[in-house]
Amino acid sequence: SPFNLETCARPNILALEPYRCARDDYKDDGTNVLLDANENAYGPSLPASAVSGTGTGAGSDSGPGFDLLGLHRYPDPHQNDLKQLLCNLRTTHAHTAKALTPTNLAVGVGSDESIDALLRCFCTPGRDRILVCPPTYGMYSVSAQVNDVGLVKVPLLPAPTFALDVPSILAVLTSDPTIKLIYLCSPGNPTGSLLSKSDIAQILAHPTWNGVVIVDEAYVDFSPSPSDSLAEWVLEHPNLVVTQTLSKAFGLAGIRLGAAFTSPPIARLLNALKAPYNISVPTSALASAAVSPAGLEVMRKNVAALAKQRNRLLEALPKIKGIGRLRGGTASNFLLYEILNAKGKPDNATALAVYQRLAELKGVVVRFRGKEHGCEGCLRITVGTEEEVTRFLAALEEAIGEVH
């Protein structure tokens, strides 16, 4: 591989001396008197009403599974226990005989933190650029703008495949050495389609490009098979990062926990540049519970229930007059549908009017994805509960009738 971390990453990040605390050397194991971190020894200022009625300690079935009275201490900056659980979750040996280890991982405040951290790690502001493939997740370009990093777009092939335009991507990577990162999304948002593994392999096999491939797998646990995850590919590819999150299939958007699987040298840089205590004690405890065997059982049950409602939408939506084609795939917890105008053609203005009517008159909020997002006149509909889907279907039929 032409990838060379020493010439690809930013020099200031390569030279970075990460923040160190005394507890890197002397552990918080209950035996030491800890007067090193300017914590408040008198405890958290939580009123009794917030503390009582909640269990303390892992295994309690009445409480959150962590000690509220211990929250005056900083969290573990390395999160090795949580990282090991996340590695176990993604080690299948399906792709390789090797196992993922905590050296392959950086955890962040949602995958949004990793998306941004990679830009700060590799892209020099005002000089470097990233490649994105619209329609895709909006934060890649927002983070690029925040970091004063340029954006090159190679759109996905037209719906319904929404596949990568591999020849165009390879050509752009050949001709533009300022591109340091390519952000791919699989299953895609808003497309709901899995990208082809052989297409991603072709990009990783680029003969001259010195850059990093990011595969955003925020929705991978909704896809039909867990082996759809490319996390283990990081054991073979030094310039691959696979990001995942507990916000979607695990239903924990509120705790903000994301994971970036990658080669140990890139993981080391991501860990060096992060804020030292980015993962809070409650987040860490709840994330560990979610990826435990009992947590996985709940996740799979919820994903199965959701798939049932997704199938219900797939059956019911085409019967509504004014609904166009399903665009993209069904590998996620949302569907992308065209909205037709009175003449039977998809158009932005009609979809936008239906979107606004749904929200303002029916109290049902979906997402408008139009020409400006790379899809003409579409709505992206998150799969809800049975009751929510019922309410949405009735509201949509009315809203389209009123707009036509």
121/218 with CB nearer ligand PMP: 218
247/350 with CB nearer ligand PMP: 247
150/251 with CB nearer ligand PMP: 251
Q: Is 191 in the site for ligand PMP (CB under 6 A)?
A: no
Cβ-based neighbour number of residue 162 at 10 Å = 26
Q: Is 283 in the site for ligand PMP (CB under 6 A)?
A: no
Q: Is 183 in the site for ligand PMP (CB under 6 A)?
A: no
Contact between 222 and 187 (Cβ < 8 Å): yes
For the CB of residue 386, give the shortest distance to ligand PMP in the complex, in Å: 23
For the CB of residue 258, give the shortest distance to ligand PMP in the complex, in Å: 4
Residue whose token pair is 């269990």: 55
For the CB of residue 133, give the shortest distance to ligand PMP in the complex, in Å: 12
Q: Is 110 in the site for ligand PMP (CB under 6 A)?
A: yes
Contact between 77 and 277 (Cβ < 8 Å): yes
Q: Which residues in the 241-260 window bind ligand PMP by CB under 6 A?
A: 245, 247, 253, 258
Q: How far is 133 from 326, CA to CA, in rounded Å? A: 20
Q: How many CA atoms lie within 13 A of 200 on its CB side?
A: 26
For the CB of residue 111, give the shortest distance to ligand PMP in the complex, in Å: 4
All residues at 6 or more sequence positions from 32 whose CB lies less than 8 Å from its CB, including other chains: 26
Contact between 115 and 140 (Cβ < 8 Å): yes
Residue whose token pair is 């507990």: 246
Among 68, 159, 173, 185, interactor with ligand PMP by CB under 6 A = 185
For the CB of residue 334, give the shortest distance to ligand PMP in the complex, in Å: 9
Q: Which residues in the 202-231 window bind ligand PMP by CB under 6 A?
A: 216, 218
Q: Is 189 in the site for ligand PMP (CB under 6 A)?
A: yes
For the CB of residue 223, give the shortest distance to ligand PMP in the complex, in Å: 13
Indicate the burial class of 223 (C-beta count within 10 angstroms; 0-12, 13-18, 19 or more): buried
For the CB of residue 190, give the shortest distance to ligand PMP in the complex, in Å: 8
Strand partners, 245: 258
Indicate the burial class of 117 (C-beta count within 10 angstroms; 0-12, 13-18, 19 or more): buried
Select from 21-29, 104-112, 347-355, 372-380 the region that touches ligand PMP (CB under 6 A): 104-112
Q: How far is 162 from 188, CA to CA, in rounded Å? A: 9
Per-residue string for binding with ligand PMP, 111-150, x by CB under 6 A?
xx------------------------x-------------
DSSP-derived secondary structure letter, 290? H
309/332 with CB nearer ligand PMP: 332
Q: 270: helix, coil or strand? A: helix
206/248 with CB nearer ligand PMP: 248
DSSP H/E element including 121: helix 110-122
For the CB of residue 245, give the shortest distance to ligand PMP in the complex, in Å: 3
Residue nearest to ligand PMP (CB): 110
Cis peptide before 187 (omega within 30 of 0): yes
23/248 with CB nearer ligand PMP: 248
260/323 with CB nearer ligand PMP: 260
CB burial of 7-30 (b: ≥16 within 10 Å; e: otherwise) equals: ebbbeebeeeeeeeeebeeeebee
Residue 43, amino acid: G
3/337 with CB nearer ligand PMP: 337
DSSP-derived secondary structure letter, 42? T
**Residues at the interface with ligand PMP (CB under 6 A):** 110-112, 137, 185, 189, 216, 218, 245, 247, 253, 258
